Homo-oligomer: A and B are copies of this chain.
Amino acid sequence: MSSDALFAALASPARRRLLELLLREGDQPAGRLAERFDMSRPSVSEHLKVLRDAGLVAEARRGRERHYRLEAEPLMSLRDWLSPYERFWRERLAALGTILDEMPSTMDEKDDD
């Protein structure tokens, strides 16, 4: 409902890395995820909690392990949030193109970057 939790969850590099690991390597138990981090296991566990609260991951208990899986749905609301900005961006690009089209053609120099 509130996108605040979503944006806040994504603000931490550690949490974005967790999402990326789940995306690229699939579901994993918490411990296996934690191994990859320089930080303590409980800290990773807390980051997982933030992601859980934001609906970005879900856990499934398998024996004494807890397997986490990516839940991408909330990210689709991020895409929705983004889209008017994308429209804005495209309009600016289009306007820039028009300006360039209207420029004297004698201005053809090489541009490198």
Chain A contact residues, CB within 8 Å of chain B: 4, 7-8, 10-11, 13, 16, 19, 23, 70, 72-73, 75-76, 78-79, 82, 84-86, 88-89, 92
CA distance A82 to B86 in the complex (A): 13
Question: Which of B8, B73, B75 is in CB contact (< 8 Å) with A82?
Answer: B75
Contacts known (A89-B76, A92-B72); A23 close to B82, Cβ less than 8 A:
no
How far, in Å, is A8 (CB) from chain B's closest CB?
5
Whole-angstrom distance from the CB of A22 to the nearest CB of chain B? 9
**C-alpha gap A23/B86 in the complex (Å):** 11
List of B residues within 8 angstroms of A84 by Cβ: 23
State the oligomeric state as a number of copies: 2
Instruction: Across the A-B interface, give the 4 residue pairs with the lowest CB-CB distance, nearest first.
Output: A11-B11, A72-B89, A72-B85, A75-B85
Question: What are some 6 contacts across the A-B interface (CB < 8 A)?
Answer: A7-B10, A7-B16, A23-B84, A23-B88, A79-B82, A79-B86
Of chain B, the residue at the smallest CB distance from A15 is B7
The one of B4, B19, B85 in contact with A85, judged by C-beta atoms closer than 8 angstroms, is B19
Besides A79-B82, A82-B82, 13 more A-B contacts (Cβ < 8 Å) are: A4-B13, A7-B11, A10-B10, A23-B84, A72-B86, A72-B88, A72-B89, A75-B82, A75-B85, A75-B89, A76-B86, A79-B79, A79-B86
